[in-house]
Amino acid sequence: MSARAPSGHRSPSGSSRGSGRAVLTWLGRAAMGLVALVLLVAGVWGSWGSAQHVLFTKGRERGEMTVSRCGGEECVGAFTPLSPGARARERVVLDQSVGAGAGDRLAVVVKPDTDEVVRAGMPGLVRSWVPLGGALLLAAVVLAGGVRLWRTAWATAAAGLLLLAAAVVTV
């Protein structure tokens, strides 16, 4: 009789291959999860530069901008203050001129210590979070393809699309 291993016993090399694959799969998913997290953090970071001025208007100069001209990347116009302590300005700059034209009057908030303004109210709030909407769409692709979290990916993509659609509607 020959000495054979019991039928349920696996060789040491076979079991280590299986656990090695499991570890690599787990590390790959963890790396993709980290990529999705970095995308979302970058989206919030990119949005926060404008969003903070729209969200926290207490103590900031609020008013109305009368657009005199718009170029490809910005609009220029005069600022009429509406908040106490704000000063009138002959020239302020509104970055990204989407939805604005000469003669339009827009509610704006002045960025501290600059002549730059951001749109105020709901249009400004939604517009400021557009980078986060794009990041949500990118993160959804990573979550679906890299992490295999299909429902989470669909929910993330839906949130990104809603945010971008709201930005288009409010502009």
In this prediction, residue 129 carries a pLDDT of 92
In this prediction, residue 85 carries a pLDDT of 81
In this prediction, residue 155 carries a pLDDT of 96
CATH topology of domain 58-119: OB fold (Dihydrolipoamide Acetyltransferase, E2P) (2.40.50)
- Whether 105 contacts 117, CB under 8 Å: no
- Distance, CA of 45 to CA of 36 (rounded, Å): 14
Domain boundaries, the chain: 30-56+121-171, 58-119
Pairing of strands 89-95, 74-81: antiparallel
In this prediction, residue 48 carries a pLDDT of 94
Torsion angle in degrees (nearest 10) through CA of 58, 92, 169, 122:
10
Q: Residues near 12 by Cβ (< 8 Å), separated by ≥ 6?
A: none
In this prediction, residue 44 carries a pLDDT of 96
Give, for all 171 residues of the chain, the pLDDT tens digit.
555 555 555 545 555 677 888 888 888 889 999 999 999 999 999 999 889 988 988 888 899 999 998 887 888 999 999 988 888 899 999 887 667 778 889 899 999 888 899 988 888 889 899 999 999 999 999 999 988 889 999 999 999 999 999 988 887
Q: Residues near 127 by Cβ (< 8 Å), separated by ≥ 6?
A: 50, 96, 98, 119, 167, 170, 171
In this prediction, residue 1 carries a pLDDT of 53
In this prediction, residue 144 carries a pLDDT of 93
